[in-house]
Structure 1
Amino acid sequence: MARATAPARKALTTAIAGTLAFVMFFPILWIVVLSFKSEVDAIRAPLQVLSSGWTLDSYGAVQERSDYFKHFWNSVIISLGSTFLGLLVAIPAAWAMAFVPGKQTRNVLMWMLSTKMLPPVGVLVPIYLLFINFGLLDTRIGLVVVLMLINLPIIIWMLYTYFREIPGEILEAARMDGASLREEVLYVLTPMALPGIASTILLNVILAWNEAFWTLNLTASRAAPLTAFIASYSSPEGLFYAKLSAASVMAIAPILIMGWFSQKQLVRGLTFGAVK
């Protein structure tokens, strides 16, 4: 009886997982479909959209109207720059919280996480004024700093959980062998937590790549990333569905490709320390 039940349960689980995956992926799939349609066909009923002709005109129009590669490189620089700058701060901070005894560690972690609960619009005006005073408005450096500070609590939390899975005795042995604090962090702790650090990098690159609120409010043209590139196709004249879909596909394609090729590292990092 148990043998007969196991395949049925496995098939049911697979069906449910497949259905949920399709539901989550369907918006992206529909955007891809609309990107290959004309503006007239894009606003038709779904069945009419699927039966209409396919064209690359929207991609050509998007490239003619906007400099895609400028926005693309802005997104690359801002997302990678904010992530690696955050790692420079988060690795020592997570090390201290994971291996230096203290009763306030949990309180500090909760305080840092509570900053993510503040609505971004609540601090928009002071940050905007600071950007104007320091000449950081519409600059990559300004966005790198802001996105690093926004994602820093998540980076520290993730690294803290990974570092806690590493036995403290290994670090103590390194100290007994004469390793300095810098050598302990760089040559002992970091290599052992590499899967967790890799998954942290991937997740925060995605978060920075998709950030829209700050990039739309703190940039104009020079440092505008792909989020601003997409938003430019929403105008008072109306929504250009086909062109907007083409711009969206061009914006999400790089991060989808990166996630596809790095999914093994991401899963390995997220399950790091789960099995003893």
Structure 2
Amino acid sequence: MTVTAPSPAPARATAVPPAVRRARRRSAALGVLAWLVGIAFFLPVAWMVLTSLHSEADAATNPPSVAASLTLDGYREFFGATGGASPWPPLINSAMASVFSTAAVLLLAFPAAYALSVRPVRRWRDVLFFFLSTKMLPVVAGLLPVYLFARNVGMLDNIWLLVVLYTSMNLPIAVWMMQSFLAEVPVALIEAARLDGARLPTVLGRVIAPVVGPGIAATALICFIFSWNEMLFARVLTGVTAQTAPVFLTGFITSQGLFLAQVCAASVAISLPVLAAGFAAQDKLVQGLSLGAVK
């Protein structure tokens, strides 16, 4: 006689605790909210790109025509293919001012941040607050003294004046950011290098710099963006020789009216270097900001 073993009873579904269900719903709601915020920020950029590919007649319609035919006339106008002013001198000026000022900021901020974090000076918190307090003064408040100084020393319409100004404007932020990056470096690593006979330049360049490389990249990218986008000083202190890209962009707003397609095409073209730099360094930027620069 064959005895058949009883089949196992079906396992009961484990009930999900109410706290877990609430946490899942809250996470889903936050995810949807994050997507909505991201789309809200992306839509103006997408609309600007789409408008730049329309003709002036289609871009000026109210409401704007989304399904209008696409054209590159706005970009041809921006790059001077139809006989307009060439954008390359302003773009080169912006690149020079941004790159040179960012390099100067890093050279000055790195040792300053080292002195405030790894080998802290006395009352280093007060020093950091002083650096940050320099950003509390409105930029327009210092515009007239800077203009008078530049006129008296003959540096109006000079790209190197912008390099100096951008360096001084971005240095407090760079010191503040890099101080938090260098504070994450283990002191034992520096002491080991000193025991091996490494001097301060070697410690900074071969020991600390590789460890905080993402932080340096994040600081450099932010300073570059601030310098590239600055327009107030560039508008007042430059004319033709040292004109930057944001100032050149305002030239498309004339007394004849606002050429919307051309302005959008110029905005897209001027934004591309910053977007390319951000895309190339996006992994370093995320790693750098996660070190503690933004809290």
Normalising by structure 1, what TM-score?
Answer: 0.92
CA deviation after TM superposition for structure 1 residue 111, in Å: 1.2
Aligned to 1:59: 75
Question: What per-residue deviation string (whole Å, max 9, x for no partner) do you get for residues 3-37 of structure 1?
Answer: 66565444333221111011112221111111112
Report the residue type matching 1:140 in the other structure.
I
Question: What per-residue deviation string (whole Å, max 9, x for no partner) do you get for residues 129-158 of structure 1?
Answer: 222233322122111110010010000001
> Structure 1: which 5+ residue stretches go unaligned?
none
Distance 2:214 2:235 in 1: 33
Note the 1:1-276 alignment, pairs <5 A: 1=16, 8-46=25-63, 48-64=64-80, 65-272=84-291
**Segment of structure 1 superposing worse, 180-189 or 75-84:** 180-189
Q: Which of structures 1 and 2 has the bigger CA Rg?
A: 2
Distance 2:292 2:61 in 1: 50
* Pairwise CA RMSD: 1.9
**Segment of structure 1 superposing worse, 6-15 or 152-161:** 6-15
Report the residue type matching 2:95 in the other structure.
V
SS in structure 1 at match of 2:128: helix
SS in structure 1 at match of 2:291: coil
Aligned to 2:11: none
Distance 2:97 2:250 in 1: 18
Distance 2:25 2:117 in 1: 44
Question: What per-residue deviation string (whole Å, max 9, x for no partner) do you get for residues 175-229 of structure 1?
Answer: 2222212222122121211111111111111111111111111111212121112
Distance 1:124 1:63 in 2: 31
Distance 1:39 1:179 in 2: 63
CA deviation after TM superposition for structure 1 residue 273, in Å: 5.8
Matched-pair contact (CA < 8 Å) for 1:78–1:208: yes
Distance 2:145 2:23 in 1: 59
SS in structure 1 at match of 2:61: coil
CA 1:154 to 1:234, structure 2 compared with 1: closer, same or farther past 3 Å?
same
Report the residue type matching 1:23 in the other structure.
A
Matched-pair contact (CA < 8 Å) for 1:86–1:155: yes
Aligned to 2:5: none
Question: What per-residue deviation string (whole Å, max 9, x for no partner) do you get for residues 85-109 of structure 1?
Answer: 0111111111111123444211111
CA deviation after TM superposition for structure 1 residue 66, in Å: 2.5
Distance 2:39 2:285 in 1: 21
Question: How many residues are paired up?
Answer: 273
Matched residues, percent identical?
38
SS in structure 1 at match of 2:241: coil
Distance 2:129 2:96 in 1: 30
Distance 2:110 2:207 in 1: 13
CA deviation after TM superposition for structure 1 residue 259, in Å: 1.3
CA 1:248 to 1:264, structure 2 compared with 1: closer, same or farther past 3 Å?
same
Q: Which has the higher helix share?
A: 1
Distance 1:158 1:101 in 2: 15
SS in structure 1 at match of 2:79: helix
SS in structure 2 at match of 1:149: helix
Question: What per-residue deviation string (whole Å, max 9, x for no partner) do you get for residues 49-101 of structure 1?
Answer: 21322221111122222312222221211111110101111111111111234
> Structure 2: which 5+ residue stretches go unaligned?
1-15
Aligned to 2:10: none
CA deviation after TM superposition for structure 1 residue 43, in Å: 2.1
